[in-house]
């Protein structure tokens, strides 16, 4: 399936891209994160458990068990705080 992935804040800077279209054969957010972590180096450091991040599917917060569908928009971003 084709996914549209958006990266925000420090992740955008770390990965050197704001977005990408990715052909993905898995089924869940967890499997997608595993695929991205397997890219190595910066990807592993940013998404492999060392630093917090959040994921949204079609603008709704998602969990690792969230099932993906063709054409989903996936946003990956650091936690946001405010005052």
Q: What is the pTM of this model?
A: 0.93
Q: Note whether 68 and 3 are within 8 A (CB).
A: yes
Q: Note whether 11 and 80 are within 8 A (CB).
A: no
Closest CA to 19 of 27, 11, 30: 11
Q: Name the CATH superfamily, with its identifier, for domain 2-77.
A: Beta-grasp domain (3.10.20.30)
Domain boundaries, the chain: 2-77
Going residue by residue through the chain (83 aa), what tens digit of pLDDT does each one get? 999 999 999 999 999 999 999 999 999 999 999 999 999 999 999 999 778 999 999 999 999 999 999 999 999 999 876 65
């Amino acid at each position: 399936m084709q996914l549209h992935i958006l990266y925000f804040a420090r992740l955008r800077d770390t990965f050197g891209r704001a977005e990408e279209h990715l052909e993905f054969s898995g089924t869940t957010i967890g499997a997608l994160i595993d695929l991205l972590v397997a890219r190595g180096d910066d990807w592993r450091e940013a998404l492999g458990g060392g630093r917090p991040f959040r994921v949204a599917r079609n603008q709704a917060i998602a969990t690792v068990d969230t099932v993906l569908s063709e054409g989903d928009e996936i946003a990956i971003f650091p936690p946001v705080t405010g005052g």
